[in-house]
Amino acid sequence: MAYSEKVIDHYQNPRNIGKLDKDSKTVGTGLVGAPECGDVMRLQIDVDEATGIIKDAKFKTFGCGSAIASSSLATEWLKGKTVDSAMEIDNMEIVEELALPPVKIHCSVLAEDAIKMAINDYRQKQGLEPIEDDKKHY
């Protein structure tokens, strides 16, 4: 199948691969997917507690090119955003940006879930209630 140029670019030059200290109070981690389904995404954010702005974001993904690109793009978008506005990221924005075909929409859904899971992990560490999301997939 043909991949879009943006997917190929993220696949070849993934942004922000890596790992943050999951035990840090300012770090939120989201781990979604399962090996037998062929996709596992780990997305982490490091938040400036004073401003609520995401200072850093890292990912690692086991999956196809579209899954890698979706998570790579997500980390790019997350950096510099406040936690609250990051919560607004919708999977369809990822679909549009990467021109994902219908069979790859689940990759964007996975990325959105990973973002929300990471944010809620951070919120819990900060003693805040997790935000319930009616769109929650995981």
Partner 1 sequence: MNLPIYLDNNSTTPMDPRVLESMLPFFNENFGNASSRNHSFGWNAEKAVDDAREQLASLIGSTSKEIIFTSGATEANNLAIKGVYEMYGSQGNHMITVTTEHKAVLDACKKAEKSGAEVTYLSPNEDGLINLDELEAAITDKTILITIMYGNNEIGVIQDIKAISAIAKKNGILFHTDATQAVGKIPVDVLADGIDLMSFTAHKMYGPKGVGALYVRRKNPRVKVTSQMDGGGHERGMRSGTLNVPGIVGFGKACELCQQEMESEATRLSAMRDKLEKELLTIEEAYVNGNAQHRLPHVSNISFKFVEGEGLMMGTKDIAVSSGSACTSASLEPSYVLKSLGLDDELAHSSLRFGLGRFTTEEEVDFAIDHVKTAVNKLREMSPLWEMFQDGIDLKTIEWAEH
Shortest distance (Å) from residue 17 CB to partner 1: 5
- Measured from the CB atom, the residue of 11 and 79 that comes closer to partner 1 is 11
Find the catalytic residue in 8, 37, 128, 131. 37
- Measured from the CB atom, the residue of 41 and 89 that comes closer to partner 1 is 41
Catalytic residue at 37?
yes
Shortest distance (Å) from residue 53 CB to partner 1: 25
> Greatest CA span in the chain, whole angstroms?
46
Of 53, 51, 61, 48, which is closest to residue 16 (Cα–Cα)?
61
Find the catalytic residue in 20, 67, 68, 107. 107
